[in-house]
Amino acid sequence: MSRKIFSVFGLLIVASMVLAACGGGTPAAGTERIVETVIVEVPVAGDAAPLPPPAGYGATLAAVQARGVLICGVNSQVPGFGYIDADGNFSGIDVDYCRALAAAIFGDSTKVEFRPVTAAERFTALQSGEIDVLSRNTTWSTVRDTELGGNFTATTFYDGQGMMVRAGEGITTLADLAGGTICVQTGTTTELNLADVMAAAGIAYTPAVFEDADSTFAAYAEERCDAVTTDKSGLVSRRTVLEDPSAHVILDVTMSKEPLGPMVRHGDDQWFDIAQWTVFALISAEEFGVTSANVDAAKANPSNPEVARLLGNEGDLGLKLGLSNDWAYNIIAQVGNYEEVYNRSLGPDTPTYIPRGLNSLYTEGGLLYAPPFR
Amino acid sequence: MAQSSSQAASIPIWRDERYLKLIAQIVFAVVVVLTANYLYQNMVNGLRQQGTTLGFTFLGGIAGFDISETLNDFSRTSAYWQAFLAGLYNTLLVSIVGIVLSTILGIILGVARLSINPLVRWLSAAYLEIMRNLSLLVFLIFWYLGVFLKLPRVREAVEWPGQVYLTNRGIVMPWGLPTETMPMYRTILIIGLCLALALGLVLFLRGRQTGKPPLTLLWSTLALILVAVIGWFVVPAAPLSLDLPVIQGLNITGGKTFTPEFMALVSGLVLYTAAFIGEVVRSGIQAVSRGQVEAARAIGLNPFQTLRLVVFPQALQVIIPPLTSQYLNLTKNSSLAIAVGYPDLFYVSNTIMNQSGRAVEMISLVMLTYLTFSLITSVFMNWYNARILLVER
Amino acid sequence: MAAVTDIKPPLSERPSPLGWARKYLFNSLGNSLLTIFSIWLIYTVGIGLLRWVFTQAEWQVIATNLRLILLGQYPIAQVWRIWLSLLLLAFLIGNSLAIWGKAGKTAKRFGAGLVAFPLLLALTAIGAESRGWLVGLSAMLILGWYLGRPATRTLRRVVAVGWFIWPPIFLILLRGTTPAEGVLPIVGTNLWGGLLLTFLLTVVGIVFSFPLGVFLALGRRSELRIVRWFSIGYIELIRGVPLISILFMAQLMLPLFLPAGITIDRVIRAMVGITLFSAAYLAENVRGGLQAIPKGQFEAAHAMGLNGLQTMSLIVLPQALRLVIPILVGQFIALFKDTALVAIVGLLDIVGIAKTVLAQPDFLGLQREVYAFVSLLYWVFSYAMSYVAQRLEISLGVGQR
């Protein structure tokens, strides 16, 4: 008898939990909606402006500012570029770009929310407005710049596709891989380049295609494949974390050009400018020797007029971008210049060391070249 | 009916239940259509803003990527739709192989659950409890990364008797390559099949007449095997030449390689689904009342005959519906191939989606394809189920 | 019949262990072979497993990343909020067990297990703070038990209300209210991860798919043709496609369906996908229960003057749901296991977190350890749920008409 009562009340508990939790869902959803309405109103305000700029102009910045936090799509699996450490913090050069952008907008580099996105979903995430900017070692290409609904802003890292093999197996050229198996990640330009290059060279091979970088390299580490291919930077950083890095060599072939950089949505030129000039501010700061350590001194006593304009002492470049005038100062003070960002994630002191190479300033034989600040 | 229609005249429209129901339906339909239209318009507008429109013409475009294992001729210059087909074939392969193997294992497990040997019973029960409470995705990942990729490397390949090699590049086994006499042998096989079917029919009709159920299936199969064996030696040269795998440096050449992705997916799905099928089989057998078994024994049937003639036909009725849904589950679960890197329908579609940026079209296409599978299967199973019930009466 | 079964078996029927073995394990050649095979199987698998678990596996990866696996990137300074919600939950459970299961042996055994579990966990190598919280959990369970023993009417009502308000409290605590450095700073859903996210997806999936499933089941049996067609179409469509395609749709297509500028959080999108999926299966289960209700019940309700809505909500649904509770619990377990699929669309649930843990340079190549641990977590919770369901089934007497 008592057992029956217990069971009936057990049923009641279940039912009440169900009902209670139904009500429970609402507060969270309600607060969510408040944020949403703010976002909706923005384009309306833009339309009402006397001389209407193109639809969507300024909408992203307004939405970000209303939200109070920048949402940045990043990688969570590539050491040196975008990666979660054991404490649960994001780090890497792509991640630091997001911090720089947050510093430019809010004057606070911590006001950024990182969204790990997979290679497959990144463009949709950008298109649908789930993320404000995509900074996830993404290669600049025609289709992505047009059909996939985004615009690349600038190159933050010049890369090229490479091939890593195990040392001591007599593989020195791509032709030695004939009949072999090559690990590659899906949804990437890498996958297409591999097919292109091997077809052009007439080399037969078997691809082993994986959903994410971890699986790809795990399979390579287990000798599922003879070789693994991705951007050379990725190979370098991944090689450092293999069991015995010296047992792997990166072939001296460059299979493609891979300019990596942040990408924004089509249709908001102001946001594009902000994202682009954040990169340029980082590069220029290195060119002018302004670092996070000496930025206060440089602002107090600018070495030349362009530094003064960069740091907001002269002119109103920041206001023209729709930001505060000390936007670049905030970037440098809180995140550093390009060199600092680079060295923090890819410098000689890190396990993922990659020599600067093409990613040096143009004055040092590299490709980094920022337009003038004026 | 006559009463209600005469009443209808006196009831005002807004209180007439029939009208109210009609109006409710119309309102519901309008709401559904409007909502769907609103969502659709949003999507079209959004896509237009990005400069794209809906359409399937992109499927004719060149894929540009390679697929690791295909059953059709696919290369990087093939079209997207051919890539989709390659994925579809792979899904069908995994599903069919998976269904056959999981049925066999499931029946073994189900029967073992009811064995008089407590050790066997206990083992089977433990297996079912372990499997049923695992998450299939985690199990597949573990199975692939933790077992199949941890197999010995090519150099240290484990050799099983009969030149079967176990490596983390796959399981390689000797395989037959068709020779020029293969067409002739195939004709012989077809003749043998016809013979076996005819024999089966004769035995079946004899059984009907005499009332003694003969072992139709057994004799037919034996006949087929006999023809196949005789045919093998009758044709001038062996129709299949044995292709033995050989370790050559980095790779194993020759033979037939089953990739670790394929093996992990199929075996993972089989091990998982078999646990559920085992339960289905057990409940089916238990649904046959004890009296049936006792009666069968009482009229002198041996245990095997009891199982074959009394228990099994009755259990089948109970088993078929849940078994169907398990088969469908296995087919749908094969979409988890994406986690182990096997290019099935879903994975290939995902790649197409990434490379072409056509998310809406590809997801619709994939869902439509799976839906077709499920509809075909349920139509077939409903027909089969109805037939079994008919035989029973 | 009863008289026959009452006869005790003769004493000689209780064999010695050797006789027992001969009777059941070695009574025929085939059976002997089976027995030997089984023993060999148990021995090989068991020894291999034990050797791996205790000597070969490197469990350090789990110990180091335990917080990440359980809570994702939830800020460490805010973890007390989760503990607090758990304390409240423990109190409620203790209370409820005492009130509604006081005489039942099941409730007592269940309660004892619940008290012992945190204490056992506290014995493992974790931080002192967590240990304190765990002991607190057990204490709250016992406290709840003692306070709930009077089982008065008012107390029952209070506890019932407690169950109602616990989920919102939990969500508020979890998410936070104040924007910046307040008492409860907001923790964005992007920081919810690990087992916490898995549970949240499960709970939200259950809570929302249940009513939706009931509505769909009623819709499928509705007299209104359009409603019925719609329900059938929905149920069959969803049941015909894999969950992963629904999740992809929720992640990739749902944002496109919304007007420009409106975005939904990706965690919520996954919840929507899981809910829509689960509802179709629940609907079929509930329909099974509805069909089992005899027509007489409807007619009797009608005769008592209840209208359609009252008949459904007061007479038919309670009976139908009671019939299908075990099946529903099975469905919920399946849902719990299926939440793992959100990792494929990039969410950092327990499987997603496992992937990031495996990318840490210190713990490369430890897939076996990490995924074995994750599997174990799934197994423990699924098994616990199905155990409770079985007890519930027995105590409800379902299936014994």
**Chain B interface, best mutation among A130, A209, A268, by max B CB count within 10 A:** A209
**Residue A196 with chain B: CB contacts under 8 Å:** 64, 76
Q: Is the distance from CB of B255 to CB of B172 less than 8 angstroms?
A: yes
For residue A103, being part of any structural domain is answered with yes
For residue B232, being part of any structural domain is answered with no
Give the pLDDT band (50/70/90) at residue C398: low
- A202-208 average pLDDT score: 89
Query: Are A77 and C164 within 8 A, CB to CB?
Result: no
How far apart, in Å, are the Cα atoms of C218 and each of A102, B90, C212, C226? 51, 39, 10, 13
Give the pLDDT band (50/70/90) at residue A105: very high
Q: Is the pLDDT at C391 greater than 80, yes or no?
A: no
Query: Are B146 and C371 within 8 A, CB to CB?
Result: yes
**Residue B70 with chain A: CB contacts under 8 Å:** none
Whether residue B155 is found in the same domain as residue B276: yes
Task: Report the pLDDT value the prediction gives residue C103, as an integer from 0 to 100.
Answer: 55
The chain-wide mean pLDDT, for chain C, equals: 82
Task: Report the pLDDT value the prediction gives residue C8, as an integer from 0 to 100.
Answer: 62
The two three-digit tokens of residue A285, written as one number: 């700061």
Domain containing A87 — which CATH number? 3.40.190.10
pLDDT digit string (tens) for B338-392? 989 899 999 999 888 878 878 888 999 999 999 999 888 878 877 877 776 655 4
Q: Which chains touch B (3 or more CB pairs under 8 A)?
A: A, C
Q: Which of A148, A186, A222 sits opposite B149 (nearest CB)?
A: A222
For residue A76, being part of any structural domain is answered with yes
d(CA B312, CA B111): 11
For residue B214, being part of any structural domain is answered with no
The chain-wide mean pLDDT, for chain B, equals: 84
**From the CA of C150, how many Å to the nearest CA of chain B?**
38
Other beta carbons less than 10 A from residue C53's beta carbon: 12
Whether residue A145 is found in the same domain as residue A180: no
**From the CA of A130, how many Å to the nearest CA of chain C?**
6
Task: Report the pLDDT value the prediction gives residue C189, as an integer from 0 to 100.
Answer: 77
Which C residues in the span 164-223 are in contact with B, Cβ-Cβ below 8 Å? 223
DSSP states of B158-216: EEETTTEEEETTEEEE-EEEE-TTHHHHHHHHHHHHHHHHHHHHHHHHHHHHHS----H
Whether residue B150 is found in the same domain as residue B297: yes
- A127-136 average pLDDT score: 87
Give the pLDDT band (50/70/90) at residue A221: confident
- C255-273 average pLDDT score: 81
d(CA C48, CA A355): 46
d(CA C368, CA B259): 20
Query: Are C259 and A40 within 8 A, CB to CB?
Result: yes
d(CA C119, CA B8): 71
Which amino acid makes up residue B325?
S
Whether residue B45 is found in the same domain as residue B128: no
Query: Are C104 and A20 within 8 A, CB to CB?
Result: no
Q: Is the pLDDT at A30 greater than 70, yes or no?
A: no
Is C167 near chain A, with CB under 8 Å? yes
ipTM score of the complex?
Answer: 0.84
- Has domain C60-72+187-401 been given CATH number 1.10.3720.10? yes
Count up the domains in chain A and report the number.
Answer: 2
d(CA A91, CA A83): 6
Give the pLDDT band (50/70/90) at residue A35: very low
What is the number of CB-based contacts under 8 A between chain A and chain B? 95
Q: Is the distance from CB of B322 to CB of B269 less than 8 angstroms?
A: no
Is A55 near chain C, with CB under 8 Å? no
**Chain A interface, best mutation among C96, C364, C368, C369, by max A CB count within 10 A:** C364
Task: Report the pLDDT value the prediction gives residue C366, as an integer from 0 to 100.
Answer: 83
pLDDT digit string (tens) for C349-359? 999 889 888 87
Is C61 near chain A, with CB under 8 Å? no
Task: Report the pLDDT value the prediction gives residue C15, as an integer from 0 to 100.
Answer: 62
For residue B182, being part of any structural domain is answered with no
Whether residue B43 is found in the same domain as residue B85: no
Low-confidence ranges of chain B (pLDDT < 50): 1-6, 8, 392-393
d(CA C218, CA C223): 10
Task: Report the pLDDT value the prediction gives residue C7, as an integer from 0 to 100.
Answer: 64
**Chain A interface, best mutation among B65, B166, B259, B346, by max A CB count within 10 A:** B65
Whether residue B284 is found in the same domain as residue B382: yes
The two three-digit tokens of residue B201, written as one number: 């029919």
Q: Which of B116, B123, B353 sits opposite C42 (nearest CB)?
A: B123
Q: Is the pLDDT at A5 greater than 60, yes or no?
A: no
For residue A294, being part of any structural domain is answered with yes
d(CA A194, CA B99): 35
Query: Are B250 and A127 within 8 A, CB to CB?
Result: no
Q: Domain range spanning residue B319?
A: 80-174+244-392
Q: What are phi and psi of B333, to 5 degrees?
A: -65, -20
State how far Cα B381 lies from the chain centre. 13
Task: Report the pLDDT value the prediction gives residue C238, as an integer from 0 to 100.
Answer: 93
Q: Is the pLDDT at A106 greater than 70, yes or no?
A: yes
Query: Are B137 and C240 within 8 A, CB to CB?
Result: no
Is A60 near chain C, with CB under 8 Å? no
**Residue B52 with chain A: CB contacts under 8 Å:** 147, 149
Angle, to 10 degrees, between the axis of helix A269-287 and the axis of helix A93-106?
A: 110
Q: Report percent pLDDT > 90 for chain A.
A: 37
Query: Are A222 and B65 within 8 A, CB to CB?
Result: no
Pairwise pLDDT comparison (A200 vs B321), residue with the higher score: A200
> Which of A118-132, B87-101, C147-161 ranks highest by mean pLDDT?
B87-101
For residue A17, being part of any structural domain is answered with no
Task: Report the pLDDT value the prediction gives residue C244, as an integer from 0 to 100.
Answer: 93
Whether residue B22 is found in the same domain as residue B91: no
Q: Which of C224, C249, C253 sits opposite B25 (nearest CB)?
A: C224
Is C351 near chain B, with CB under 8 Å? yes
Whether residue A149 is found in the same domain as residue A114: yes
For residue A193, being part of any structural domain is answered with yes
Task: Report the pLDDT value the prediction gives residue C372, as an integer from 0 to 100.
Answer: 92
Whether residue B357 is found in the same domain as residue B287: yes
Query: Are B168 and A222 within 8 A, CB to CB?
Result: yes
For residue B101, being part of any structural domain is answered with yes
Pairwise pLDDT comparison (C309 vs C395), residue with the higher score: C309
Return the ∠ at Cα C139 (arms to C135 and C141), rounded to 5°. 120
Instruction: Round to the nearest angstrom and report the end-to-end CA distance of chain C.
Output: 19
Range in A13-17, A33-37, C56-60, C65-69 with the lowest mean pLDDT:
A33-37
Query: Are C368 and B116 within 8 A, CB to CB?
Result: no
- A321-339 average pLDDT score: 94
Return the ∠ at Cα C219 (arms to C216 and C225), rounded to 5°. 145
For residue A334, being part of any structural domain is answered with yes
Whether residue A114 is found in the same domain as residue A81: yes
**From the CA of B181, how many Å to the nearest CA of chain C?**
43
Whether residue B296 is found in the same domain as residue B387: yes
**From the CA of B347, how many Å to the nearest CA of chain A?**
9
Give the pLDDT band (50/70/90) at residue C73: confident
**From the CA of C133, how many Å to the nearest CA of chain B?**
29
**From the CA of C179, how many Å to the nearest CA of chain B?**
32
**Chain A interface, best mutation among B39, B52, B66, B144, by max A CB count within 10 A:** B66
- C309-337 average pLDDT score: 86
Is C49 near chain A, with CB under 8 Å? no
**Chain A interface, best mutation among B169, B171, B363, by max A CB count within 10 A:** B169
For residue A343, being part of any structural domain is answered with yes
- Domain(s) labelled CATH 1.10.3720.10 in chain C stretch across 60-72+187-401
Task: Report the pLDDT value the prediction gives residue B249, as an integer from 0 to 100.
Answer: 65
Is C376 near chain A, with CB under 8 Å? no
Count up the domains in chain B and report the number.
Answer: 2
Instruction: Round to the nearest angstrom and report the end-to-end CA distance of chain B.
Output: 37
Which B residues in the span 35-64 are in contact with A, Cβ-Cβ below 8 Å? 46, 49-52, 64
For residue A6, being part of any structural domain is answered with no
Is A347 near chain B, with CB under 8 Å? no
Query: Are A223 and B154 within 8 A, CB to CB?
Result: yes
Q: Is the distance from CB of B264 to CB of B148 less than 8 angstroms?
A: yes
For residue B231, being part of any structural domain is answered with no
Whether residue A202 is found in the same domain as residue A132: no
Query: Quick one: chain C helix, strand, coil %, rounded to 5?
Result: 80, 0, 20
d(CA A300, CA A309): 12
Q: Domain range spanning residue A186?
A: 160-257
Query: Are A224 and B359 within 8 A, CB to CB?
Result: no
Whether residue A227 is found in the same domain as residue A101: no
**From the CA of A268, how many Å to the nearest CA of chain C?**
13
Best CA proximity match to A161, nearest among A50, A245, A59, A253: A253
- A285-295 average pLDDT score: 93
For residue B63, being part of any structural domain is answered with no
Query: Are B51 and A149 within 8 A, CB to CB?
Result: yes
For residue B362, being part of any structural domain is answered with yes
Query: Are A223 and B153 within 8 A, CB to CB?
Result: yes
Is C257 near chain B, with CB under 8 Å? yes
Is C260 near chain B, with CB under 8 Å? yes
DSSP states of B293-326: HHHHHHTT--HHHIIIIIIHHHHHHHHHHHHHHH
